[in-house]
Amino acid sequence: MNLTVRRVGPLKVVDVPEKRIDAAAAIAFKDAMRDISDVSCSDLFLNLENVGFVDSSGLGAIVAAMKNLGPERRLHLVALSPAVEKVFRLTRMDSVFTLHDSIDAALADHG
């Protein structure tokens, strides 16, 4: 999976180009996030604007990415579609992650 990292102001944003994070993509997603988190030294903002579907495997992969950051860094989720946001709310993961409506909202909340 080709995740890209970019700076938006003070934020490090990881863009997910895939439409789905499901069982077929979960391992590649975890591997790519592991590589990114190894070189990052701050919180990461995961831009999910292109992702329209996350299943339990995808949810597990996102949680694994958060755990890989360790206790000193946080993984923020940005631009969730209504379907993806529903998964996070139903599983109560919205209490574990900070959800932002957009990159601009994340900048306002974090800056």
Q: What is the CATH number of the domain that holds 49?
A: 3.30.750.24
Domain count, the chain: 1
State the residue range of the domain holding 52.
4-110
Place of tokens 């070189």: 39
The alpha carbon dihedral of 87, 91, 97, 98 has a sign of: positive
Q: What is the pLDDT of residues 37-52, one digit of tens each?
A: 876 668 899 999 999 9
Place of tokens 């306002």: 108
**pTM > 0.85: yes or no:** yes
pLDDT at site 10? 79
pLDDT at site 40? 61
pLDDT at site 24? 95
SS3 81: coil
Strand partners of residue 12: 7, 44
Low-confidence spans in the chain with pLDDT less than 70: 39-41, 111
